[in-house]
Structure 1
Amino acid sequence: MTALPTATPTASDTEDGPFAWYRSLPVPGRRAFVGAFGGYALDAYDFQVLPLSLTAIAAYFHLNKGQSGLLTTVTLVVSAVGGILAGLLIDRIGRTRTLMITVGTYALFTALCGFASNYPMLLTFRALQGLGFGGEWAAGAVLVAEYASARYRGRTVAFVQASWAVGWAAAVVVTTLSLDHLSHGLSWRVVFWTGALPGLTLLYIRRHVVDAPADSNGGSGDSGENSDNGDSGDSATTEPAPRAPFWRIFEGRTGRITLFATLMSTGVQGGYYTIATWLPTYLKTERHLTIVGTGSYLSLLIGGAFLGYLCGGYLTDLIGRRKAIGLFGVLSGAILYSYIHIPTSANHVLLILGFPLGFCFSAIFSGFGAYLAELYPRTIRGTGQSFTYNVGRAVGAFFPTAVGFAAGSGGLGGALVYGTLGYALAVVALVGLPETQGSDLA
């Protein structure tokens, strides 16, 4: 496989220490990091309130497991449409503007879910929430990746990815308190109403975040050090890249990359969303844990997830993108398989195993933001990254639905094995992708 061009070392590449990745960012890059971190954390919050409230929602609307799983699936399928549209916007109107549009969209429709009076209305609002949910990650990841130096790009974007665990943890706290203190008919609505809070992130992004200059990708960084004046209106530094047709991502060698990157994304997200959607229900219905008990088990899972995002970022810069994703794909599949085969009499083992499970299925995402950005040139970077990530998310979304229908006849624990098949697909797909560590995004 032909090696991709590497970046020329800059002053920022000589920084050392655990937070050298942050110090190497120019001032506008640090603001972009804060905006992307907040946007993605609240993106996670707005997604996770559904699976965490699923038992109460199913009871309120009298849903079976297939209908419950469809709520997640429709969110993720429509997120592919939102992601593709956002990818086109990223390369046309800029990273920051697209980030604002996506955050506003998912915040609005999450709040509206709390007003749903029947299942079709909830399904519709949740689908529309997917439009914003699908595009936010790609916009934030591209924005930060283009500010980061080649040496630290993996861990810089991984820290943005780690915000997912922060938003997930906040969702667990709010949902646990609501379900424990409010009636089931009101509790899940209150949780969805709090999903409007991400709208506050728009104020910060609007005032402080700008796109990276086209000639300073890869973290040259000097252009922003003296611009700490709060002005986000400098059009000289936010001009979008020249437009390129959408089909460029399917041509020649790029088309091969798009195919295998989509398969990789499908497998990883199919495995992840299987766990994220059904694990809370699995703990309550088949492990017979209380709401508070389920929260305790999830706290270890989320703690492992947060550290996994961070450690995975450092590892992806150390051993390369492909090796890191492959390693955590194998470990995630193996641990999930073990998790669901632990006897019900050994729930304490389940509690302990939650930490490495969360660590591995999150660490695999750490390299995604940098890897997908490095696979494409600037003119189609937003389009390529959004397409592969979100089409993979949409196809992977059928894993939770398959689990829901399979659980109707064979039990939820056995059906969760579909998640291990997702991770196997991701590992196989890496064979068709190049290593991109050290690539110059300019």
Structure 2
Amino acid sequence: MSTTPPSQPVTPDLRAARGEQSAEDGAFGWFRALGPQGRRAFGGAFGGYALDSYDYFTLPLSMVALAAYFGLDSGQTGLFTTVTLVVSAIGGAVAGVIADRVGRVRALMLTVVVYAVFTVACGFAPNYETLLVFRALQGLGFGGEWAVGAVLVAEYASARHRGRTLGAVQSSWAAGWALAAVVYTLVFSFAGEDLAWRIMFWTGALPALLVVWVRRRVHDAPAATAAREQSPRRGSFAAIFRPGKEGAPGLLRTTLFACLLSTGVQGGYYTLATWVPTYLKTERGLSVVGTGGYLTFLISGAFLGYLTGGHLTDVLGRRRNIWLFALLSAVCVLAYANIPHGAGTLLLVLGFPLGFCMSAIFSGFGSYLSELYPAEVRGTGQGFAYNTGRAVGAVFPTLVGFLADSWGVGGALVFGAAGYGIAALALLGLPETRGKELA
């Protein structure tokens, strides 16, 4: 009789005990762990979110030119952002339901087409009212893309690396922002402002190329497809608001606190994203090229912040990572808004930690929200929570716009810091989910 002991499953922990390496080890182990299909899903989500970012920033970067062209005050220009973000809540919630009912990839393609079409339409707007309507409709696609792409990749990612994998997807926002800043610098340097803002919106047609690739190469995770087909309650708004009963926990508490968390973080972020370019030009007197230089530091910090935050959310946990960067982001906002005039070098240098912190806090969102909801309502829950935060958080940049005439843009930016305080409080009602397996 053989005395050979039965074989033992080789887990990552066992490999570590033996001193062995697995395919998931190393700096890019998170990427190898996705597998061929997962890597293509990552590429689709990364590209979609980068172009989502590009199309979003065509407006803030063109804000000064738009205000001059249509004769707008600060409140009217701030309303552009508010309308975009409020309507994005509707788009995000609807896209989440579509993702749960017909699949992540189909929903992803739909959102990309919608935000691309209406970004281009903005370039043809003859007046302020028409531009406001087109920007609102652009928000329908803008709101859904991130939530759908994040769920798609989360369901391929391993529990061990889900935070850094989704953090890498999130970093594409900085890539799209950087591309928009480069195009802005070129377009506004070689074209008059009356035409340049239109050209910026017309370049929003780029995402159409991505849709063709996604349709051919990207597929939903098999486990997610099986869960969708087996569940009769998939994509249900009622399910994410169902209170808990004895022996059957509900999702109402999770949804409420997730919305509050998203509101705080995005209220702070969109205040900065919307008003920093205007702040640099109107209160700091920077030229187009000068503003681009300052934004380079801000965007570089944002890109590294996404990657670092993604790593830390796996190491520290979802809640600790958000708490840490909520505090640091609030400190950076207050410091940035109160730099004395004439301290140009300090303004430049502080842009890097500002971009780093306000982006690192987002890195855990994709993994955290995906882990808070079961498969049959994962898209619905994540889409609703994230985009409700966008809609309510949209009050912050509008408030800054209306106060800018009396307080100055720099003074009004303090409301961004208040948003991060709200986010920190919201975490008291949510559990830690690091290491959770997704069915």
Asked if Structure 1 and Structure 2 have the same fold, meaning a TM-score greater than 0.5 normalized by the shorter chain, the answer is: yes
In structure 1, the partner of 2:4 is: none
Distance 2:412 2:79 in 1: 15
So what's the TM-score if we normalise by structure 1? 0.92
Distance 1:68 1:91 in 2: 36
Q: What amino acid is the match of 1:367?
A: G
Distance 1:272 1:13 in 2: 38
Structure-2 change in CA distance of 1:370 and 1:28 (3 Å)? same
Aligned-residue offset at 1:305: 0.2
In structure 1, the partner of 2:147 is: 138
Q: Of residues 171, 174, 178 in structure 1, which corresponds to 2:180? A: 171
**Is the counterpart of residue 315 in structure 1 residue 324 in structure 2?**
no
Matched-pair contact (CA < 8 Å) for 2:100–2:228: no
Distance 1:236 1:103 in 2: 25
State which structure, 1 or 2, has the greater radius of gyration over its C-alpha atoms: 2
Q: Of residues 83, 94, 99 in structure 1, which corresponds to 2:92? A: 83
How high is the sequence identity, in percent, across the aligned residues? Answer: 64
Q: Of residues 263, 268, 272 in structure 2, which corresponds to 1:271? A: 268
Structure-2 change in CA distance of 1:236 and 1:257 (3 Å)? closer
Q: What amino acid is the match of 2:24?
A: E
**Is the counterpart of residue 71 in structure 1 residue 80 in structure 2?**
yes
Distance 2:420 2:279 in 1: 20
Matched-pair contact (CA < 8 Å) for 1:94–1:240: no
**1:274-293 counterparts in 2 under 5 A?**
274-293=271-290
Q: Of residues 353, 357, 373 in structure 2, which corresponds to 1:356? A: 353
Deviation string, structure 1 residues 269-290 (Cα, Å, up to 9, x no partner)? 0000000000000000001111
**1:139-288 counterparts in 2 under 5 A?**
139-214=148-223, 242-244=232-234, 245-252=236-243, 253-288=250-285
Q: Of residues 91, 102, 121 in structure 2, which corresponds to 1:93? A: 102
Q: Of residues 294, 297, 313 in structure 2, which corresponds to 1:297? A: 294
In structure 2, the partner of 1:229 is: none
Distance 2:397 2:90 in 1: 19
Distance 2:368 2:316 in 1: 13
Distance 2:90 2:365 in 1: 19
**Is the counterpart of residue 380 in structure 1 residue 377 in structure 2?**
yes
Aligned-residue offset at 1:408: 1.6
Distance 1:93 1:105 in 2: 17
Distance 2:229 2:357 in 1: 38
**Is the counterpart of residue 393 in structure 1 residue 369 in structure 2?**
no
Aligned-residue offset at 1:239: 5.2
Aligned-residue offset at 1:246: 1.4
Secondary structure in 2 matching 1:289: coil
**Is the counterpart of residue 60 in structure 1 residue 69 in structure 2?**
yes
Distance 2:307 2:24 in 1: 18
In structure 2, the partner of 1:336 is: 333
Q: Of residues 113, 116, 120 in structure 2, which corresponds to 1:107? A: 116
Aligned-residue offset at 1:241: 5.3
In structure 1, the partner of 2:401 is: 404
So what's the TM-score if we normalise by structure 2? 0.92
Unmatched runs of 5 consecutive residues or more in structure 2: 1-9, 16-20, 244-249
Matched-pair contact (CA < 8 Å) for 1:178–1:187: yes
Distance 1:376 1:237 in 2: 13
Deviation string, structure 1 residues 367-413 (Cα, Å, up to 9, x no partner)? 00000000000011000000000000000011110000011212111
RMSD: 1.7
Aligned-residue offset at 1:177: 1.0
Matched-pair contact (CA < 8 Å) for 1:91–1:243: no
In structure 1, the partner of 2:44 is: 35
Matched-pair contact (CA < 8 Å) for 2:227–2:375: no
Distance 1:350 1:242 in 2: 55
Q: What amino acid is the match of 1:154?
A: G
Secondary structure in 2 matching 1:345: coil
Matched-pair contact (CA < 8 Å) for 1:87–1:383: yes
**Is the counterpart of residue 325 in structure 1 residue 322 in structure 2?**
yes
Matched-pair contact (CA < 8 Å) for 1:36–1:160: yes
Larger mean CA deviation between 12-21 and 380-389 belongs to 12-21
Aligned-residue offset at 1:15: 2.1
